[in-house]
C-alpha cells in the first residue's frame, strides 16, 4: 500500500508518500517563511498563491524521490480542512484531480487528525492515548480512542499557544516564526526573571488560556529597552510560564481519565509547538508520573508536512474509508467531529 499525501492548510506545501509498513518513501516541504516573514505572520492570500505556484512541481518531485510512478500508488490523500480555505482548496483540488485522472481512491483528511495519528507512524503507539495538540492555530487535549474516534477534554478558550509564541516574539523583535526563536533566545535567559502569570493554573477542567499571558508580556515590555539580556530573560520566562500552564492542564487530564477508569497507553504531543524541547521535557516527566511513555514525532514531522497526511490516509484506507470528489474544503472542522465513517 502506497499513499500520497498533500498538505496545504497553512504556509507549507507538503507532499509525502508512505507505505503501510511505516516507511516514509518521500517527504518534500516547500516553505513560505520568507514570503510571510515581513508581515510577522501568515497572510492567507499570499499563502494560497504560493501553494498554486509550487504544487505542480513538488508532486512529481516526491514521486521521483520515492522512485515510483502514479501507477504504483494505492490512493491519494489530501487535507480538506481545517485551515486557511484558499490553501486548503489548492491541495484538495490537486488531490482530487490526480485521483480522478489516475482512477485512484481519494481520502479526505482532517489536518488535526493527521497530527493526532503521526505518533503511530513514528512510535507505533497503540490506542487509546492522551494527546496534546499544540500549534499556531490549536491547543487541545484529547483522548484518542481510534481512527476517527476522538474525545475533546480541553481546548483554549481564547488564543492558541503557538499564536502566543508568535505574538510575543514579534513584540520582542525576534521575528517569525516565534516558537523556535523564543526557544533559542530562552537558552541564554533566566526562567524566573519575570513573574508572568500561569493562566488557568489549578482551575478545574482541562481548558487553556493564553491571551492574558500575551497582555502581561506586552505590559512588561512597554517602555523598556529590548536589550539582548532583557529579551533572553523574557523569552525564558515566557517559555517557563507556557510549560507550567500546559503541564498543569495535562495533569488535570490524567486525573480526569483516572477518575473515569480510562487507561491510556501513552502521552503523545503533536503540532508545531511539540517541537519545543523544554515543553517536551515537562511532558515526559508528566507521562512518567502516570506510568506511561511519552511520544513526540521528530520536529520535522511535528510541523505541517505531507507525510502525516499520507499516514492518516494509510490509517483510513485500510479501514475502507474513502471519499467522493464532492467532499468539501472546510475552514473549520473540529477533530471530535471526524468520524471513522466515509
Q: What is the CA radius of gyration of the chain?
A: 20
Beta 12-19 vs 24-31: how paired, if at all? Answer: antiparallel
Q: Are residues 42 and 98 in the same domain?
A: yes
Q: Is residue 93 a part of any domain in this protein?
A: yes
Q: Is residue 281 a part of any domain in this protein?
A: yes
Residue 172: the pLDDT is: 96
Q: Are residues 222 and 284 in the same domain?
A: yes
Residue 37: the pLDDT is: 86
Q: Are residues 185 and 99 in the same domain?
A: no
Q: Are residues 134 and 111 in the same domain?
A: no
Q: Is residue 342 a part of any domain in this protein?
A: no
The strand pairing partners of 17, in sequence order, are 4, 26
**pTM tops 0.75:** yes
Q: Is residue 242 a part of any domain in this protein?
A: yes
Residue 39: the pLDDT is: 84
Residue 342: the pLDDT is: 34
Q: Are residues 253 and 321 in the same domain?
A: no
Q: Are residues 265 and 243 in the same domain?
A: yes
Three-class DSSP labels, the chain: CEEEEEECCCCEEEEEEEECCCCEEEEEEEECHHHHHHHCCCCHHHHHHHHHHHHHHHHHHHHHHHCCCHHHCCEEEEEEECCCHHHHHHHHHHHHHHHHHHCCCEEEEEHHHHHHHHHHHHCCCCCCEEEEEECCCCEEEEEEEECCEEEEEEEECCCCHHHHHHHHHHHCCCCCCHHHHHHHHHCCCCCCCCCCCCCCCCCCCCCECCHHHHHHHHHHHCCCCCCHHHHHHHHHHHHHHHHHHHHHHHHHHHHHHHHCCCCCCEEEEECHHHHCHHHHHHHHHHHHHCCCEEECCCHHHHCCCHHHHHHHHHHHHCCCCCECCCCCCCCCCCHHHCCCCC
Q: Is residue 90 a part of any domain in this protein?
A: yes
Phi/psi at 185 (nearest 5 deg)?
Answer: -65, -35
Counting Cα atoms < 13 Å in the Cβ hemisphere of 341 gives 4
The strand pairing partners of 312, in sequence order, are none
Q: Are residues 283 and 307 in the same domain?
A: no
Q: Are residues 133 and 273 in the same domain?
A: yes
Residue 136: the pLDDT is: 80
Q: Is residue 273 a part of any domain in this protein?
A: yes
How far apart (Å, rounded) are the C-alpha atoms in residues 16 and 63? 9
Q: Are residues 292 and 323 in the same domain?
A: no
Q: Are residues 266 and 134 in the same domain?
A: yes
Provide the residue-wise pLDDT of the chain in tens; the chain has 342 residues.
999 999 999 999 999 999 999 999 999 999 988 888 888 888 999 999 999 999 999 999 999 999 999 999 999 999 999 999 999 999 999 999 999 999 999 999 999 999 999 999 999 999 999 999 998 888 999 999 999 999 999 999 999 999 999 999 999 999 988 999 999 999 999 999 999 999 999 899 999 999 999 999 999 999 899 999 999 999 999 999 999 999 999 999 999 999 999 999 999 999 888 889 999 999 999 999 999 999 999 999 999 999 999 999 999 999 999 999 999 999 999 888 887 543
Q: Are residues 223 and 100 in the same domain?
A: no
For the beta carbon of residue 184, count every other beta carbon within 10 angstroms. Answer: 12
Read off the C-alpha cell for 238. 515566557
CATH code for the domain in which residue 287 is found: 3.30.420.40
Q: Is residue 254 a part of any domain in this protein?
A: yes
Q: Are residues 72 and 175 in the same domain?
A: no
Query: Total domain count for the chain?
Result: 2
Q: Is residue 176 a part of any domain in this protein?
A: yes
Beta 75-81 vs 24-31: how paired, if at all? Answer: unpaired
Q: Domain span at residue 68?
A: 2-116+301-337
Amino acid at each position: 500500500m502506497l499513499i500520497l499525501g498533500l498538505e496545504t492548510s497553512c504556509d507549507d506545501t507538503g507532499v509525502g508518500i508512505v507505505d503501510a509498513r511505516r516507511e516514509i518513501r518521500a517527504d518534500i516541504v516547500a516553505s513560505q517563511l520568507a514570503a510571510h516573514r515581513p508581515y510577522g505572520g501568515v497572510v492567507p492570500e499570499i499563502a494560497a498563491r504560493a501553494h498554486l505556484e509550487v504544487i505542480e512541481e513538488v508532486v512529481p518531485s516526491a514521486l521521483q524521490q520515492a522512485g515510483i510512478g502514479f501507477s504504483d500508488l494505492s490512493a491519494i490523500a489530501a487535507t480538506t480542512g481545517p485551515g486557511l480555505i484558499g490553501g486548503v482548496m489548492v491541495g484538495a483540488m490537486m488531490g482530487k484531480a490526480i485521483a480522478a485522472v489516475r482512477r485512484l481512491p481519494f481520502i479526505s483528511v482532517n489536518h488535526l487528525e493527521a497530527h493526532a495519528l503521526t505518533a503511530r507512524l513514528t512510535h507505533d503507539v497503540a490506542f487509546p492515548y492522551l494527546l496534546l495538540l499544540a500549534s499556531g492555530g490549536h491547543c487541545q487535549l484529547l483522548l484518542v480512542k481510534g481512527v476517527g474516534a476522538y474525545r475533546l477534554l480541553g481546548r483554549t478558550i481564547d488564543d492558541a499557544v503557538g499564536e502566543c509564541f508568535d505574538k510575543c516574539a514579534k513584540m520582542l523583535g525576534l521575528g517569525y516564526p516565534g516558537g523556535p526563536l523564543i526557544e533559542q533566545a530562552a537558552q541564554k535567559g533566566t526562567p524566573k526573571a519575570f513573574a508572568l502569570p500561569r493562566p488557568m493554573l489549578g482551575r478545574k477542567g482541562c481548558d487553556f488560556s493564553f491571551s492574558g499571558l500575551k497582555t502581561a508580556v506586552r505590559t512588561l515590555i512597554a517602555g523598556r529597552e529590548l536589550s539582548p539580556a532583557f529579551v533572553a530573560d523574557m523569552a525564558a520566562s515566557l517559555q517557563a510560564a507556557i510549560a507550567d500552564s500546559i503541564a498543569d492542564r495535562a495533569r488535570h487530564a490524567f486525573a480526569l481519565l483516572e477518575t473515569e477508569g480510562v487507561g491510556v497507553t501513552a502521552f503523545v504531543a503533536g503540532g508545531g509547538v511539540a517541537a519545543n524541547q523544554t515543553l517536551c521535557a515537562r511532558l515526559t516527566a508528566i507521562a512518567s508520573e502516570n506510568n506511561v511513555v511519552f511520544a513526540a514525532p521528530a520536529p520535522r514531522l511535528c510541523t505541517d508536512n505531507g507525510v502525516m497526511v499520507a499516514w492518516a490516509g494509510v490509517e483510513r484506507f485500510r479501514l475502507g474509508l474513502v471519499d467522493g470528489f464532492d467532499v468539501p474544503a472546510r475552514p473549520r472542522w473540529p477533530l471530535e467531529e471526524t468520524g471513522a465513517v466515509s
